[in-house]
Amino acid sequence: MSRIGKQPIEIPSGVEVKVGAEEVQVKGPKGSLATPVHPKVEYEIVDNQVMVKRADESRLARAQHGLRRTLLANCVEGVTKGFERGLEVIGVGYKVSVQGKKIVLNVGYSHPVEYDLPKELEARAEGSKLFISGIDKQLVGEVAAQIRRVRPPEPYKGKGIKYIDETIKRKAGKAGKA
């Protein structure tokens, strides 16, 4: 039995979960999300909890069990609390700013790099830090990864865009001539 899949998902007050034939709809105070249903996984709502069960013991059903439970748990957490990912811009002259739904990055190129945010997400800049927030965990992570790809951190000086909780393995530079 999947250790993650067998855990029930608590449904907080103000959150509504509807299981349909094609997807599970989750509505809450921050918005609504949907996650697709797999035919090998069954959902059961009992006493403000959702139990995710598999239809049989096949390899595919076992693989989908924990995945579908986690996707649904992320939807419930997203519509109640939301998700946030932090990025840090490190380097002399490197800066970040947010102008409406546009992120402007000055990271050592001859021109500022502009990134248009999807309408579901919010961004705020605090000095050299950039915070991306929204209700969809996958979308928040994907946008943060795309922004990081503009100038990934390099191992010699540590310059670039990195996640706030990321540590960069540093390398020694060239050895001087003796």
Residues 51 and 89 in one domain: no
The pLDDT score that the predictor gives to residue 1 is 58
Domain boundary among 80, 104, 124: 80
Q: Could you tell me the pTM of the whole model?
A: 0.89
Chain centroid offset of residue 136 CA: 7
Domain boundary among 56, 80, 104: 80
**Mean pLDDT, range 52-66, rounded to an integer:** 92
Residues 111-130 pLDDT 10s? 999 999 999 999 999 999 99
Confidence at 136, pLDDT banded by 50, 70, 90: very high
Which among 153, 149, 151, 178 has a CA at the least distance from the CA of 168? 153
Q: Which residues of 114-129 are buried (b: 16+ CB within 10 A; e: fewer)?
A: ebebeeebebebeeee
Residues 65 and 115 in one domain: no
Average pLDDT over the chain, rounded to whole?
Answer: 93
The pLDDT score that the predictor gives to residue 59 is 93
The pLDDT score that the predictor gives to residue 178 is 63
Quote the domain boundaries for residue 123: 83-163
DSSP 82: -
| CB-facing half-sphere around the CA of 60: CA atoms within 13 A | 5
Q: What is the DSSP string of 108-155?
A: SSSS-EEEEPPTT-EEEEETTEEEEEES-HHHHHHHHHHHHTTSPPPT
Confidence at 174, pLDDT banded by 50, 70, 90: confident
Residues 61 and 132 in one domain: no
**Percentage helix, strand, coil for the chain under 3-state DSSP, each rounded to 5:** 20, 40, 45
